[in-house]
Amino acid sequence: MFQVRIHGRGGQGVVTASELLSVAAFDEGHHAQAFPTFGSERTGAPVVSFCRIDDGPIRRREPVSHPDAVIIQDPTLLHQVDLFGGLSGDGYILLNSERDFDELGMGEFIAGFRPERVRTMPATAIAREHLGRPLPNSVLLGGFAGLCDLVSLDAVAEALRGRFPGELGDMNISAATAARDYVRESLAGAPAAGAGGVHA
């Protein structure tokens, strides 16, 4: 079973992100489960959502305490919430930030992870460019498809198309594709791990 924990704030589409990830996994033949937990329902409050993916039926219903991947939609949560609790050194980290891990004061922490599985990316900036709004959820799903082989970009695109019809769906797919390409280019470039880097 592969378990993903998504952290963000109310209004950023955290719950939608986990639902879309589960739909993408289901469309590729997996069993999937997505559900949120709320500290508060007000806009801007910390929100956590979970996604489990497996090849067989999923019977667990408790929150994900030992994730295989953590996706962080809002970097202001870094010093407010235990974002990485239960994540092993083999886990994946995708963080929405225009700064690298060293600039965020995380270089020493990130050194304990496999460098090809950790990444910062400017998801909000990509969202503004393609969507005209600072909503990073679709962007981060595209980036995650580039970082981890859990789901393909095609599956993410189909999930986005099903959730957002017409032009809005096309815009979200464009944003997700740009994010996937951004991560893939970083993988090919192999920058240092502390500098937001990953390598193939």
Token digits of residue 108: 């020493």
Q: pLDDT truncated to tens, each residue of the chain (200 aa)?
A: 999 999 999 889 999 999 999 999 999 999 999 999 865 556 778 899 999 999 999 998 899 999 999 999 999 999 888 999 999 999 999 999 999 999 999 999 999 999 999 999 999 999 999 999 999 999 999 999 999 989 999 999 999 999 999 999 999 999 999 999 999 999 887 653 544 443 32
> Are 51 and 4 contacting, i.e. CB atoms less than 8 angstroms apart?
yes
Cα 98 off chain centre by: 15
CATH for 2-189? 3.40.920.10
**The dihedral formed by the CA atoms of 94, 98, 104 and 107, expressed in degrees to the nearest 10:** 60
The confidence score (pLDDT) of residue 81 equals 83
Q: Sheet with 69-72: list strands edge to edge.
A: 31-38, 46-54, 2-9, 69-72, 92-96, 118-121
The confidence score (pLDDT) of residue 190 equals 60
The confidence score (pLDDT) of residue 79 equals 83
Q: What is the pTM of this model?
A: 0.91
